[in-house]
Amino acid sequence: MKKTIKYLPEEKQEDLKYLVSLILKKIPQTQMIILYGSYATGKYVTYDSRIEFGICTTYMSDYDILVVTSGAKDKEVGQRLDSIEDIYYKKPDEQTPVQFINDDINKLNKDLSDGRYFYTQLKEEGIVLYDSGQFKLARRRKLNFEEIKQQSEEYFKEKFKKANLFLADAIHNRDKKEYVQSSFYLHQAYENLFYAVRLTFTLKNSKQHNLSKLLASVRRYSEEFDKIFPQKTKEEKRLFLLLKLAYVEARYNPEFAVAKEDINALVLLVEQLSKLVKKICIERIAEYGKME
């Protein structure tokens, strides 16, 4: 793994050093602190602003940080990481956001040994911000097709279940005439369905909320995606853009407007997408079972 962040601007380096110091102070069971995601790969966005639907939208990449502990209770670590965020955020609107995840070293090494993509990718691209020297990370071994089948099935079931739960939340909020909130849940339903396809076909996924990029990444697996999302007319493009924006705008923009008719149309589309995703993923899992 890489061990330097000198390629980052000085203020980003200082942020990360400060966060490391807080983690070590608050969580003595910390064994490793690993930066992953866009700031580890150098593909981060410091600040982006654009006008969509006449509304100014801004975006900043997060610091994605894995805190690896040994013998610590998950709930206690979670509470302490929350307290670290409280200390860190002095000017939330101006600061780079931080997202923590926590894993015990034994679970992390098992996931690495099992070839779980998120962790193997994290090991490949991540940067060690702190290492106690007490443990070593496991190596990834090559999976056989039975293991690939098992993992793809687990990933599919997890993401497909989440998508259905978000769809139920969207419909519930639609019925309560909370159309903006419904649009956010619909975004999450679509996102998880795309995740289900990516993980089933490749055992690979990355944190991605941009539905245009997610759709582009799964088109190769079925021509039916283009029939569900043709985006040839102005209305088709408008509806997809509204859904795409909902991830941020539905939560943070009080002027974001969504009509009941929009929600009804998007519910019909997500139901079509759900049927397609279930069909192609089950077929792919069955194919793994026939491979040697």
CATH code at position 189: 1.20.120.330
- Tell me, yes or no, whether 71 lies in a domain: yes
Domain membership flag for residue 236: yes
HSE, CB side, 13 Å, CA atoms: give it for residue 174. 20
pTM of the model: 0.66
Same-domain check for residues 160 and 248: yes
The predicted structure's pLDDT at residue 183: 97
Domain end (from 62, 96, 131): 131
Do 272 and 152 share a structural domain?
yes
Question: DSSP string covering 93-125, please?
Answer: TTSPPEEEEEEEHHHHHHHHHTT-HHHHHHHHH
Dmax (CA) for the chain in angstroms is: 59
Per the domain annotation, does 38 fall within a domain? yes
Considering the domain architecture, whether residues 278 and 249 belong to the same structural domain is answered as yes
CB 88 within 8 A of CB 18: yes
Structure tokens, 176:
């309560």
* Same-domain check for residues 105 and 157: no
Please, what is the Cα angle at 208 between 206 and 210, to 5 degrees?
150
19 and 149 together in one domain? no
Long-range pairs for 208-215: beta carbons < 8 A, 24 or more residues apart: 209/247, 210/244, 211/187, 211/240, 211/243, 211/244, 212/240, 212/244, 214/190
Please indicate, yes or no, if residue 32 is contained in any of the structural domains: yes
Give the H or E element holding residue 130: strand 127-131
Same domain flag for 124 and 159: no
- Specify burial of residue 206 (Cβ count, 10 A radius: 0-12, 13-18, 19+): middle
* Weakly modelled stretches of the chain, pLDDT under 70: 47-59, 92-93, 206, 292
Does residue 47 sit within a domain? yes
Whether 286 and 149 map to the same domain: the answer is yes
- Tens of pLDDT along 36-89? 988 999 988 886 655 555 555 556 788 989 999 999 998 999 999 999 999 998
Looking at 80, 105, 131, the residue that finishes a domain is 131
Residue 4 covered by a domain: no
Q: What pLDDT, on a 0 to 100 scale, did the predictor assign at position 132? A: 97
Full domain range(s) for residue 78? 10-131
Domain with 42 in it: what CATH number? 3.30.460.10
Last residue of a domain, one of 68, 96, 131: 131
Q: Is 28 left (phi over 0), alpha (psi -120 to 50) or beta?
A: alpha
CA atoms within 13 A on the CB side of 264: 5
5 within domain boundaries: no
Provide the number of structural domains found in the chain: 2
Helical pair 179-202 and 260-290, crossing angle rounded to 10 deg: 10
Q: Based on the fold, state whether residues 229 and 96 are members of the same structural domain.
A: no
